[in-house]
Amino acid sequence: MGEILTNAPAEPAGAVTYATADGLLGSVWLLVAIPLVSAAILLLLGRRADRWGHWLGVAAIGASFVLGLASFFQLRGLENKSVELSLWDFIAVGGLRVDFGLLFDPLSAVFVLLITGVGFLIHLYAVEYMAHDAGRRRFFGYFNLFVAAMLLLVLGNNYVMLYVGWEGVGLASYLLISFWYERPSAATAGKKAFLMNRVGDAGLAIAIFIMFATLGTTQYDEVFSGVGALAGGTVLVLGLLLLLGATGKSGQFPLQAWLPDAMEGPTPVSALIHAATMVTAGVYLIARSNPIFSANTTLQLVVVSVGALTLLIGCIIGAAKDDIKRVLAWSTVSQIGYMFLGVGLGGGAYALAIVHLLAHGFFKANMFLGAGSVMHGMKDQVDIRRFGGLSKHMKITWITFMMGWLAIIGMFPFSGYFSKEPIIAAAFAREDWTAWLFGGAALLGAGLTAFYMTRLFVLTFHGPARWTEDIDHPHESPKLMTIPLILLAIGSVGAGFLLSTSVPDWLTATAGLGGEHGEHESVLPHALITTLSLLVTVLGAGLAWFLFRNGTATAPQPAGVVVTAARRNLYTDAFNEAVFEKPGIFLTRALVYLDNRGIDGLVNGLAAGVGGGSGRLRRLQTGFVRSYATSILTGALLVVAAFLAVQAGWLA
């Protein structure tokens, strides 16, 4: 390999090195293994595990959380806060060497704590929520499988490991969306999620191929150290493909359509997978790949644009929906848009995006579980036009949901204020006119978020009751459900401040995520941005409160062009159907016809031709020895001629 290396550029700046994991950190593999083994037990034992299976599931995540916490503290004491653990050679063929290895560093550590911590609370909640479902054990099996795959995703030390986890969470997501598989809508939603994700996955796969073709490796440290030597165009293509993968997993434009349909799954699934953790994997991917994204400004501009566009799409559609879970789903799309905006801005904003991601994990999980609690008390009703006045009947759900609501709209001093406002400020700190564009979009988004989330909150908990006839007395959920709610609500209040003061410093030890706070002057003073964002929040929330304080009509109302479009997801589903689905089905049918009639027709036609020809040839069987002798002679001559031809090289 010596010749190659002489042509290689000089050692790029900022080479990345990882230390070897030992001591307690040598057992980080258990983080993945515990939930995986638990999932295997739950799924393989079958009905035998029905009685205690859910507790095994909860215990597995609890154990992972404790181990994650211990590892986190261990990591804090280390000099080099990035430790690697190589388990075995995953793929070793020719020049390709993929390590089955883990990387525990500040970035993966915060994800581990989020996944196992919030995951534990949601598991606990699900014990009660799924208590009356015959498939509870299967549910916990899939749930543990998800946690294992998600931990693998954030703990892998190379892109192939990330890809394994990436598709693993896709599988778990599919299984859980179509958990109630006997419902056609659930089965279809699961399939849609998997397929749209696979489009993104194909992009991610090709990105990995590019890394190997250009750098000869897929290990994080080697890729990041070598990225400086890549041509600008290569970095751009590489980054765009990674972004395609990220948009698929995170429900960002143009691959956002699957996420709202994913609400067909049980509510704890929506909370854990489609709000708090899995859908933020795209943000993780970009933050992890920050040396690639920071190396190309065009690439960063694309990421910022995707983020800004998606956050507005999410707000607009979210404001027009009446299904409590779908509103929350679109708000997730929108909030992840903020995170994409953050990671796209680069520099210090990477850390801001991660802070928002963690804070969002708390308050969104809180609200989804709250929505589940409401549905639990309202006979699985999801239409917010059919709620109202629930604050009197479900006090804990009401209060905890309120914390989540105040957090997401970014009201001071709740968590979202500390995590979202800095991203808005960072957007205003771009160096050219795009500061106004993206800063404005982020600010507009804040106002819209306040509007539709307030609409959701008021219509659900306040105003007159608009319940269906079969409900006479909605009840508060049992303790096993309300305790996780309370804990998450505390997180929704306090997490933002705590995270925003600690996480950016903590993350500086992850390659590329720290140090570079060389931001441009903001086009607006910071104090003004803060004031403005609080102002639009109050305006949006106040308007919604004013409009919906007395409830709303329980039947669909005629609406103008904008609202109709928003109700139909801005026609994105219609677009997909018209451009991909319908032509795809037509193409498939046409090909089936072609294969049967065309290609196979040719084969059978040939056979029929031979058959007919043989019929005629049969007449040559005259029974006269002399004519046979002639044929034999002719044949022999032909064979001899063929041999001579070959030997004389006539065919050459």
Contacts (CB under 8 A) with another protein, residues 133-172:
160, 163-164, 166-168, 171
Residue 595 CB coordination number (10 Å): 11
Q: Work out the angle at residue 34's Cα, subtended by the Cα atoms of residues 32 and 37, and round it to the nearest 5 degrees.
A: 105
**Beta strand segments in 509-596, E:** none
Site for another protein in 471-510 (CB under 8 A): none
Query: Distance (Å, rounded) from C-alpha 104 to C-alpha 114?
Result: 14
Q: Is 210 near another protein (CB under 8 A)?
A: yes
Between helix 349-377 and helix 106-129 the angle, nearest 10°, is: 0
Q: Could you tell me which stretch among 193-201, 310-318, 345-353, 403-411 binds another protein (CB under 8 A)?
A: 193-201
User: Identity (one letter) of the amino acid at 139?
Assistant: F
Applying CB under 8 A, which of residues 70, 91, 629, 636 lies at the interface with another protein? 91
Q: How far apart (Å, rounded) are the C-alpha atoms in residues 516 and 508?
A: 9
Query: Which residues are within 8 A (CB) of 72 and not within 5 positions of it... i.e. 6 or more apart?
Result: 109, 112, 113
Site membership for another protein, residue 8 (CB under 8 A): yes
Residue 240 found at the interface with another protein (CB under 8 A):
no
470 binds another protein (CB under 8 A): no
Q: How far is the CB of 24 from another protein (least distance, A)?
A: 24
Q: Which residues contact 416 (CB under 8 A, 6 or more apart)?
A: 356, 359, 360, 363, 406, 407, 408, 409, 410, 496
Is 528 a binding residue for another protein by CB under 8 A? The answer is no
Would you say 292 and 242 are in contact if contact means Cβ atoms under 8 Å apart?
yes
264 binds another protein (CB under 8 A): no
In the bound state with another protein, the residue whose beta carbon lies nearer, of 52 and 209, is 209
Indicate which single residue of 27, 74, 86, 214 sits in contact with another protein (rule: CB under 8 A).
Answer: 214
From 73-81, 486-494, 566-574, 642-650, span contacting another protein (CB under 8 A): 642-650
Among 215, 351, 390, 489, binds another protein (CB under 8 A): 215
> Residue 70, SS3?
helix
Question: Among 89-97, 342-350, 401-409, 440-448, which window interacts with another protein (CB under 8 A)?
Answer: 89-97
221 binds another protein (CB under 8 A): yes
- What minimum distance in Å lies between the beta carbon of 152 and another protein? 9
- Using DSSP's 3-state secondary structure scheme, residue 349 falls into helix
Task: Give the separation between CA 248 and CA 268, rounded to whole angstroms.
Answer: 21
- Could you tell me which residues are beta bridge partners of residue 383? 323
Between 190 and 416, name the residue whose CB sits nearer to another protein.
190
Radius of gyration of the chain (CA): 30
The contact pattern for another protein, residues 22-61, with x = CB under 8 A and - = no contact, is: ---------------------x--x---------------
Q: Which is nearer to another protein, 190 or 318 (CB)?
A: 190
Stretch that binds another protein, among 199-207, 370-378, 430-438, 448-456 (CB under 8 A): 199-207
3-state secondary structure of 21: coil
Residue 213 found at the interface with another protein (CB under 8 A): yes
648 contributes a contact to another protein by CB under 8 A? no
Give the pairing of strands 83-93 and 19-20. parallel
In angstroms, what is the minimal distance from the CB of 113 to another protein?
25
CA distance 538 to 534: 6
574 binds another protein (CB under 8 A): no
CB of 402 to another protein, least distance (A): 39
CB of residue 534 to another protein, shortest distance in Å: 45
Rounded to a whole number of angstroms, the minimum distance from the CB of residue 213 to another protein is 5
Q: Residue 592: exposed, middle, or buried by beta-carbon count in 10 A (0-12, 13-18, 19+)?
A: exposed
Single out the segment in contact with another protein by CB under 8 A; choices: 217-225, 362-370, 470-478, 499-507.
217-225
Between residues 22 and 600, which has the closer beta carbon with respect to another protein?
600
Binding of another protein at residue 199 (CB under 8 A)? Answer: yes
User: 461 with 398: CB under 8 angstroms?
Assistant: yes
| Interface with another protein in residues 593-612 (CB under 8 A) | 595, 599-600, 603, 607
Binding-site size for another protein (CB under 8 A) equals 80
Q: Does 539 bind another protein (CB under 8 A)?
A: no
C-beta closer to another protein: residue 195 or 633:
195
| CA dist list (Å): 225 to 59, 94, 162, 204, 219 | 40, 22, 18, 20, 10
Residues in 93-112 at the binding interface with another protein, rule: CB under 8 A: 93-97, 100
Site for another protein in 345-404 (CB under 8 A): none
**Phi and psi for 103 in degrees, rounded to 5?**
-130, 120
Q: Which is nearer to another protein, 209 or 571 (CB)?
A: 209
Instruction: Tell me the DSSP string of 154-191.
Output: HHBSBHHHHHHHHHHHHHHHHHHHTSSTTSHHHHHHHH
Residues near 372 by beta carbon (within 8 Å), at least 6 away in sequence: 125, 129, 267, 268, 270, 271, 481
